[in-house]
Amino acid sequence: MALKYLPFSGQLSEAVLLAQHSIRHVEGYKKFIGQFSDWEDDFFSLPVTSKQTYVSHYSFAERMIEQPYDSFGLIRSSGFSGIPCYWPQSKSNFKMLDHIIKMQLETVYNVHQKKTMAVVGLALGSWIGGESLSFLFKSFARQTDYPFLVFSPGNQFDEIIEILSVFQDQFDQFLVCICPSAIRYLFLRAKEKNTKLPYQKMKFIVLGESFSESLRIGLQDELGLPYDPSFMLSIYGSADTGLLGFESPLTSGIRSMFHLYPQIAKQFGFEHENPTFFHNADPAHFLEDCNGELLVTASKTMPLVRYNLKDKVKLVSGKQFFQLLNDKKTSIPQRFSWILNPEFQQSLGDLLLFFNRSDQALFFFGTTYTCEMFNDIIHSQELSPFLTGLYKVSVDVIENRSVLVFQLEVFQTTLVNAELEYFILTYIVKRLCECNAEFKNDWEHVYSSFISDQKTKPILIRFLTYPSLSDTLHLKPKIFSGFKNLTF
């Protein structure tokens, strides 16, 4: 029995009604649809929307539905173009989120039985991750009759370290909300301050970027902690769509098993990529797999119809996936036999298997970086005397640290030394601060503390002499027009 992917998840009839209503009542969508004469009166023939093709072309008011505002706030997303987009947060959507938060906190973390502090260590202000979790946790805390306290310092590492140290004896557990790539730097900062953190009491709720399973397992090994599938659980969503999925100890355990036992992953068809397994957070959303990319249709104050997030996602039936696990139970190691507990089958629903981005965006510390940003910097006049223009950028894991690595090809006549590295690194940082407000925030509060130490640098420059990259990419230097799709 092979794993079968679903073409869509959700109620098609509801998606059709939303599309019809949007064509009639959402001015921007009505104009967007008017450009296409070749679509039939069929939902799956409707043109795909995206931030680039739809959102950036119509105003906030044009994308709102003609009804009284069902919103209580606004969230900002930077967008790939660098032009900010604003998204209303609806009251009805947050009622659903309240239910999910309560369910997760009580079933996964037993907050009704343990004195708990939630520490929101994500960027605050208008960014959805930190702002929404802080709001949801505090709303939850107001309604509980047991000890649940929320502290929201944002990405201020010193404040996070201080609160964990000061209150470590007064709470049974700490739920730290943070970007996965920031965890190791939090540990390094605590070490610099000679502060011992209550690692045995800390669990992490992470979002903003994908991560390798080696990070989740490696951090626990480094701290000398026994394997715990709930040590670090991920949330999947965006400012555009809201919450789409969340991990559970079950789905975390499945991914860990596939990482540690690649021969089992291969039986499920995951020999090249180990996806993150998310539970579908909102069955009211209509989700499609369109040529391997996720399309979202969602009824919101600002409706989305066949909206492409540029994420590589597959959809599977949780029931079918669990059955396949049972069919292969003889292959499953004893340490992961607990994932076959039939009680888990009751709550699986459909699963979203997140593989990666389908475009050329990188995520680091929850911030989006695009090839356009890097092209403008690397191909600038200031760097042209030293660089051929060919480069690669990646997020690598080095000793459980996520590092943004620039591989830059230099001319054979370029003198490579510490002075040149400092000049180019400083220039890249300066330009990224100018074009990306989130990077500037991260630089001021996180990166700058570690940049001077080669062992803890979050940004690395590696020079390769021509034709090292040119030969690899079969291109000639200084022909920048052809590099847009080859920069990562």
This prediction has a pTM of: 0.82
Q: pLDDT tens across 245-289, in order? A: 999 999 999 999 999 999 999 999 898 889 999 999 888 899 999
pLDDT at 488: 29
> Is the previous residue joined to 467 through a cis bond, with omega within 30 degrees of 0?
yes
List Cα–Cα distances, 78 to 360, 433, 438, 460, in angstroms. 16, 13, 8, 24
pLDDT at 359: 62
Task: Tell me the CB-side half-sphere exposure of residue 332, using CA atoms within 13 A.
Answer: 20
How many angstroms from the chain centroid is the CA of residue 48? 22
> In this structure, how many other beta carbons lie within 10 angstroms of the beta carbon of residue 238?
20
Q: pLDDT tens across 90-132, in order? A: 887 777 788 889 989 999 999 999 999 999 999 887 777 888 8
| Sign of the alpha-carbon dihedral angle for 273, 293, 64, 96 | negative
> In this structure, how many other beta carbons lie within 10 angstroms of the beta carbon of residue 355?
17
CB 430 within 8 A of CB 396: no
Domain ranges, ordered by start, for the chain: 87-108+210-358, 363-486
CB 209 within 8 A of CB 181: yes
Fold annotation for 363-486: GMP Synthetase; Chain A, domain 3 (3.30.300)
- Residue 183's closest CA among 256, 244, 257, 122? 122
Res. 466 pLDDT band, cuts 50 70 90: confident
CB 320 within 8 A of CB 264: no
With a pLDDT cut of 90, the percent of the chain lying above it is: 52
Task: Tell me the CB-side half-sphere exposure of residue 18, using CA atoms within 13 A.
Answer: 21
- DSSP per residue, 150-166: EE---S-HHHHHHHHHH
Q: Dump strand ranges (E) for 218-344.
A: 232-238, 242-246, 276-280, 286-290, 293-298, 304-317
CB 119 within 8 A of CB 160: yes
Angle, CA 81 vertex, CA 408 and CA 393 arms, to 5°: 20
Q: pLDDT tens across 388-406, in order? A: 888 889 888 888 788 899 9
Query: Could you tell me which residues are beta bridge partners of residue 311?
Result: 357
Q: pLDDT tens across 191-224, in order? A: 989 999 999 999 999 998 888 898 899 899 989 9
pLDDT at 482: 28
Residues 275, 288: Cα–Cα separation, whole Å: 17
Q: pLDDT tens across 143-176, in order? A: 999 999 999 999 899 999 999 999 999 999 999 9
